[in-house]
């Protein structure tokens, strides 16, 4: 597996952290459902997708309102509504097995053991190409982001998942970590195959006419173009801290946004909120990367000079 910083990724197929991607641009968890919902997306452009986060058991999710728009961004507090792992195995995985791009399952738990159990259940399931361990969800009462703020807890979750599956294990990091490099290194040492940086930033918005939070869960996670400069910085720090590949996430809308993450040291990227605005956002990002590629397949920028 080549180092993220060894060269730039072309728009073509590549292998990242044990997963064979059709292009370097993937659909981010929670913004592409289970892959059956967005008919207008150009699926040939899709490098791969991460399904909506799941727990062992079905979950109702957070009370509405669940979304608030903010300047160039949105807060969400979905609360990981979704079917449990059994439905995923029974209803979605068989479909995914027929698709031309890999699907990773986004794993969530309230305890280390729940993550491990999920990993075990998904091991060997046809249609599941990898696991994205979500230790960064800001919208649950227990677990989620708490695991991602502490290097020891992050390592514990990663290690527990690692020993229960032969699937590639990616770990999705939270910007709320005091030292994201330390968490990244801890996950790498615990056996992660790749790191995803980053999940949403915790935020809050109040209704000035009632004085109450505008989200049912009170706080939510900020995504969209507003966070891009913060996410590029964090993804860059993570890429500098580890040798495993990094997948950049946060506010990617245009082809050049994706390239910014690649230049910052990421090996692939995920697109989230942009898909809400343009169901074919990923198609357009990949098309832009392709059009701008130099003849040898590498994008036109240079690698980021180390500081």
Ligand X SMILES: Cc1cc2nc3c(=O)[nH]c(=O)nc-3n(C[C@H](O)[C@H](O)[C@H](O)COP(=O)(O)O)c2cc1C
- Give the residue numbers marked as catalytic: 137
Residue 226 lies near a second copy (rule: CB under 8 A)? yes
Which of residues 65, 230, 276, 279 is near a second copy by CB under 8 A? 230
Q: Cβ of residue 159: shortest distance to a second copy, in angstroms?
A: 22
Q: Cβ of residue 281: shortest distance to ligand X, in angstroms?
A: 9
H or E element, residue 291 = helix 281-292
Residue 174 lies near ligand X (rule: CB under 6 A)? no
Dihedral of alpha carbons 236, 244, 185, 221, sign: positive
Which of the choices a second copy, another protein, ligand X, none does residue 90 contact, using the CB cut-off of 5 to 8 A by kind? none
Q: What is the DSSP letter of 251?
A: S
Which of residues 79, 143, 175, 272 is near ligand X by CB under 6 A? 272
Which of the choices another protein, a second copy, ligand X, none does residue 105 contact, using the CB cut-off of 5 to 8 A by kind? none
Nearest-CA neighbor of 198 among 105, 139, 110, 270? 270
Neighbours of 305 (CB within 10 A): 5
Residue 302 lies near another protein (rule: CB under 8 A)? no
Q: What is the DSSP letter of 88?
A: I
Residues sharing a CB contact under 8 Å with residue 90, sequence separation 6 or more, in sequence order: none
* CA of residue 110 relative to chain centroid, distance: 19
Q: Which is nearer to a second copy, 215 or 244 (CB)?
A: 215
Which of the choices a second copy, ligand X, another protein, none does residue 174 contact, using the CB cut-off of 5 to 8 A by kind? none
For the window 184-213, what string marks contact with ligand X as x by the rule CB under 6 A? ---------------xx-------------
Q: Where are the beta strands (DSSP E) in 23-112?
A: 25-27, 48-50, 67-70, 73-76, 103-107
Residue 259 lies near a second copy (rule: CB under 8 A)? yes
């Amino acid at each position: 597996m080549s180092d993220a910083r060894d060269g730039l990724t072309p728009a073509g197929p590549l292998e990242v952290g044990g997963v064979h991607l059709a292009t370097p641009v993937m659909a981010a968890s929670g913004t592409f459902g289970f892959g059956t919902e967005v008919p207008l997306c150009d699926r040939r452009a899709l490098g791969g997708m991460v399904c909506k986060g799941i727990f062992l058991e079905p979950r109702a999710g957070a009370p509405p309102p669940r979304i608030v728009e903010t300047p160039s961004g949105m807060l969400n507090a979905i609360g990981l509504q979704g079917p449990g792992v059994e439905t995923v195995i029974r209803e979605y995985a068989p479909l995914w097995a027929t698709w031309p791009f890999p699907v990773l399952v986004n794993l969530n738990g309230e305890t280390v053991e729940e993550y491990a159990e999920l990993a075990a259940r998904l091991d060997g399931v046809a249609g599941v190409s990898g696991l994205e361990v979500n230790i960064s969800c800001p919208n649950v009462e227990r677990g989620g982001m708490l695991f991602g703020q502490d290097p020891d807890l992050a390592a514990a979750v990663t290690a527990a998942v690692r020993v229960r599956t032969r699937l590639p294990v990616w770990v999705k990091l939270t910007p709320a970590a005091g030292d994201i490099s330390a968490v990244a290194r801890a996950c790498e040492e615990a056996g992660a195959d790749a790191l995803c940086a980053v999940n949403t930033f915790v935020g809050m918005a109040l209704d000035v006419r009632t004085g109450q939070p505008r989200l049912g869960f009170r706080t939510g996670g900020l995504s969209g173009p507003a966070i891009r400069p913060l996410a590029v910085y964090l993804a860059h720090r993570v890429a500098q801290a580890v040798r495993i590949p990094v997948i950049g996430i946060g506010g990617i809308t245009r082809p050049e946004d994706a390239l910014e993450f690649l230049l910052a040291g990421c090996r692939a990227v995920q697109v989230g909120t942009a898909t809400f605005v343009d169901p074919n956002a990923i198609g357009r990002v990949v098309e832009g990367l392709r059009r701008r590629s130099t003849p040898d397949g590498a994008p036109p920028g240079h690698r980021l000079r180390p500081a």
